[in-house]
Structure 1
Amino acid sequence: MKFELQSNDIKSKARAGVIHTDHGAIHTPIFMPVGTAGTVKAVHQRELKQDINAEIILGNTYHLYLRPGLSLLEKAGGLHKFNGWNGPILTDSGGYQVYSLSENRKIEEEGVTFRSHIDGSRHIFSPERVMDIQRSIGADIIMAFDECTPYPCEYDYAKTSLAMTHRWLKRCCKRFDSTQPRYEYAQTLFPIVQGSVYKDLRVQSAEFIASCERDGNAIGGLAVGEPAEMMYEMTELVCDILPKDKPRYLMGVGTPANILESIALGVDMFDCVMPTRNARNGMLFTTQGIINIRNEKWKDDLSAIDEELGGYASTHYSKAYLRHLVHSKEMLGAQIASIHNLTFYLWLVGQAREHIKAGDFAGWKNSIVSKLMTRL
């Protein structure tokens, strides 16, 4: 993997670049639709490419390991061939699922023992095992195995957890470097900065991750309930330490405002379930603000969902029709809303990229954030 830095904004730390992978180029800043179990919910791969303009999608190690399982993925030739997506893929290591399954797991130095949410079967994830699993899944970018601490989190726990995450990272790097890709393309490993909301721990972690000299780096353990300003403070602190010539990935973020503010701090890559999850519940992000399509006010509104946005789903269907589908519990409603929201998110980072290149990102960001978060 190679990162080509192309432009820097004059009045912020925002930058535009290109990540080159064997499955294609990723133009940053970028939003990555989440396809946890091998699919972006309610969206065809053709729509991801042609309508949404997605350049990279996510899969999840924990979910794919449990179902469909490594045997089938290996038989298919990896996740790309199994799900028919020929662009880049990133896989999360399962660390966040370990965090969310607090009642069904046990964390020890060797790794994590957990019970499947599907059938209760017992499994063990170690740093080495997670590297092997992600080799089998075959993502272009794979994540190191870490512990995502909750918020709030006591300082002593965060410090102990961080030390273990760093020891796990050393084991991840050793295993990754001693193995080869299972398929005929390269893979790269991203470490993850942790440290909760404690400045000294975040600095320590960012310096350690930078010293590992990997092709890209991630920032984890944020967007887990802490105030937005605290998230921005930690993000800026870490971005100022991580290498400027490598992409920075802020995991699990977020709202349109979160994304724009974090781009201004130097982040290049984002993912979040929000656009698809909220779409299935009738919340639409538009160029004019946020719409709850279930509301009565849209019942007779025959205007397009978002004419300014462009894209088939956003311009071909009316608000009234989409509201009708949602209230009728028609599957097409979730599909149209999901495609629309993802189209908006990719439009948003695309606009950010153009304004970075033009040198006026900071001013554009400040002028549009409040509008995008207004509830219509």
Structure 2
Amino acid sequence: MKRNSSFAQILRKKYAQPICWLDDSTLVYYWRGKFVSIDVESKSEILIGNIKLNAKEKLLSFFSISRRLFRLYIFSPTFDYRKQEILFSFNGYFCSYNLKTNVFLREQLLDHGARRLLSICFCKNGDVYYGEYPTKNDGTDVCIIRRNTNKEHSIVYRFEPGSIRHIHYVCEYGNDLFCFTGDENNETNIFQFKNKNFKTQPDCLLSGSQDCRACVAMFNNGYLYYLTDNPYFENGLFAFDLKKSFLKQMFRIEGSVIYGLVSNNFLFFSTCVEYNLSKKKNNKNVILKINGKIGGIRSNESILYCFNCNANQLIRLIKIKKDCLSIKYFGIGTFMFTCNNSSKYLAVFSQSLKINETLFIFDIQEANL
């Protein structure tokens, strides 16, 4: 069942990208090289520290248009509570920033000309896994990389050259690592590496269709729930029975999904306003108008949703229209999320929307979730 929700919006702040929650009411946000903590209830802020930007990054970070053009935001953050360390991708590097010591490291240059990662997975044993997201389709192998507790990065698995284009998402469930790949039908898969064994071929749960092209997922009660990232056909929220290997579509949604947040039995996610595509017989993409009837993008608004897994309920929270700037050069319209959750609040960041580069905080207690 779909319904609208009256989330209480308690804070709106321009130029503040939310990164992680330190506790239920203390949020860390980033802007132009600075990490700042804000107490959501008192609205008080404390500067935690700065990361060292080079001269070019400082200049380009100063203007909204160049921030968007060069994607000078933090992508795919994750938080190591024990070390008080944020891991993220920034401007072509895998980076770390320690909140206690104020130490910022560009640990690893990303291969294939990549500007960012779509997913970084922090595991129970302290190891971190991430998958390459090439900007250049250079026909080389795309890899899963492990970062150990000594900050050493090593390749643990190589996909055959040309077999996949990107790794969209990696996540831990039990002792296993799951890996979601894309983009075209023959490149789209959901893999399971049992016990994180990378010496043998992974189990392939789903493959060969845009219905399993995904960047956001959660596990609950024996099901894998995921949102499709499909510019060609109507998108949806799907449920895959892990025991019976049975797939069903739960809800239709208005656009592709790249960002989301798992919070206990809830999955928050945002639709994207990007190119609405169709394929010609020669396998070339054709850009379609967004008319609500054809293609994968059925709305020119980015819509923020909450999926209540236990109640099988999809709740629409807020929607904002895409701005007029080019998708290709200045980014898709969407909301971005923190890497962890608060039991009281939801923090999101608008990107390439008419209300742009803005932090929104909602009281999710008041929504009776």
TM over 0.5: no
Query: TM-score scaled by structure 2?
Result: 0.31
Larger helix share, 1 or 2: 1
| Structure with higher RCO (Cα < 8 A, 6+ apart) | 1
Query: TM-score scaled by structure 1?
Result: 0.31
